[in-house]
Amino acid sequence: MIQIKEISTNQELKEFVKFPFRLYKGNPYWVPPIINQEVASFDKATNPVFEHADARFFLAMKGEEIVGRVAAIINNLEVNQQKVRRMRFGWIDFIDDLSVSKALLDKVEEIGKEANLDFIEGPLGFSNLDKVGVLTEGFDILSTMVTWYNYPYYAEHFKKLGLVPGQKFLETNFKLEDVDIEKYQKYASLIKRRYKLKAINFKSSKEVLPYVEEMFELFNTSYARLSSFVPVSDKQIAYLKKKFISFVNPEYIKFIVDENGKLVTFSITMPSFARALQKANGKLFPTGFLHLLYAKKYSKSSVFFLIGIAPEYQKKGVTAIVFDEFFKTYSQKGVSKMIITPELEENKDIQLIWKNFKPEIHKRRCTMRKDIAKK
């Protein structure tokens, strides 16, 4: 008999975060989070995402043993403003037992029904900056710090329980040796002259901070047309600035501005921390932070995290300037591979950016959804 237990203490929240460490123990492809950071991100008193999102956290119990977990999330901005009556679920993990996955999703659907929502969908986080989707291809490829990993049986459970694919995502990678860098240098120079643009590079996190608000404003503008987009609020921007900017190598952040200094394009990449996080095994101390510092300095793979382009500059080749600047940095750092994090299949504009890089699709994932049965 599976019991669903709602979390009510900080100790239970730690158990929620630590459950995947047992489930994926010995798995060479799963990348663990830092436990304390993950717990802190669920703190409703400090994470501003909870100003417009409600979340409840549950553990599936078989006797005294934890056998699954799930977060049930309502994003009030999308429900009330966008009229997308979706009951989100995320951070879902379970043993290969259909009674466990069913009990977890039944609880999510029950909450959605109580809130008079139309459907459940996940795995999704609180906002667009969270991890997304259940992995459906690429189980034997190392995950990243910004994606969820799961066993192949997850998607099969969802299908058996009546869920169908919702949003579909691609993950790709390419080798820098396959890129005609001289071509991009020439094209970047042409675009700079044509539109009177210039690149801004950074040597310290302190130099980045004055641009963060403008960067997220551009992010909101760039992605507003996508069906699933929820804007990032001012308080979230302040929270993310404090939490992440100092963590990202300043050299891996590229801004392009016009002749008046207005930001028209930005892009954030980061060294791959996957192996370092595996070695840290959820803890920064006593040695976990050393593995992360080493990866920050010496990783030969770069993870493409985010790009934003002002609507009036889209499809005008400004990404050539961005990549030209990245190639300069990667050459100095000895980076040889770029890993692209999940991108919506429907976002054809972003896929056009990569077409000349000979990208290889190495993973696919999707959200799964199901209509909530009405009384």
Q: What is the pLDDT of residue 375?
A: 64
Residue 169: predicted pLDDT:
96
Run means of pLDDT, 10 residues per run, the chain, 375 residues: 95 97 98 96 92 96 97 94 94 98 98 97 91 98 97 98 97 92 90 96 91 90 74 84 80 95 94 97 95 94 92 91 94 95 86 85 98 84
Give the predicted TM-score (pTM) of the model.
Answer: 0.94
Residue 344 near residue 167 (C-beta atoms within 8 A): yes
Q: Cβ(198)–Cβ(324) under 8 Å?
A: no
- Residue 314: φ, ψ to 5°: -70, 145
pLDDT at residue 355 in the model:
82
Query: What pLDDT shows up at residue 226?
Result: 67
**Ordered domains of the chain (ranges, CATH):** 3-169+367-371 (3.40.630.30), 174-365 (3.40.630.30)
The pLDDT score that the predictor gives to residue 229 is 73
- Give the integer Cα–Cα distance in Å for 133 and 157: 14
For residue 355, which phi and psi values (nearest 5 degrees)? -60, -30
pLDDT, position 227: 61
* Residue 77, helix vs strand vs coil: helix
